[in-house]
Amino acid sequence: MTPESPGVSGPETPHSDLLAVLPRITQLSAAFSKGRLVERAAEAAGLTLDRPAIGVLLCLRTADGALRIGEIAERMQVVGPHITRQVQALEKRGLVQRVADPHDRRASLVEPTEVGREAADRYVTSLFGWFTDALADWAPRDRDDLARLLTRLADDVTARLARLEDED
């Protein structure tokens, strides 16, 4: 055992491959937070929004169409009332709008306005620029592998967590 890995006895330890990955995920999360990546990208895009509002705007921008509050909450894995407050704040800024649900007149959908789409695009462009710089020395195959594996990890973890919640 080492001080860095209490309870880990060596390469024979079950899941030792994951023990090497989990600290890296934590490292990335801390780097993004401490490095203020979201805030820097928002500033570069001329946005004065907090993280949750940016998340809602991006969720709507990347959707195939307008979404219900519940759909936004599900995609962002948060509760509906939280999304309702964010949508109301984004509406006041003219970044999103409610539209009638064509399948249910009693319900409304939320979509970005043209100003909201442009703001989200500026934000994403800023983020892409940052990641492009960070990965500039990577071989194209390595970048492709990263995208493929991160997508797979995100999809598998999300599906597994959804199954756990369904069991509760």
Round to whole Å and give the CA distance between 144 and 100.
40
Question: What was the pLDDT predicted at 11?
Answer: 55
pLDDT along the chain (168 residues), means of 10: 47 74 87 82 89 94 94 90 94 96 89 96 92 94 95 90 83
CATH of domain 23-129: 1.10.10.10
3-state DSSP helix/strand/coil % of the chain, to nearest 5? 65, 10, 25
Q: Do the Cβ atoms of 38 and 44 come closer than 8 Å?
A: no
Q: DSSP for 96-115, please give it.
A: EEEEEETTEEEEEEEEE-HH
Domain locations in the chain?
23-129, 138-168
Amino acid at 3: P
Q: Would the pTM of this model clear 0.75, i.e. be above it?
A: no
Round to whole Å and give the CA distance between 117 and 112.
6
Question: What was the pLDDT predicted at 16?
Answer: 79
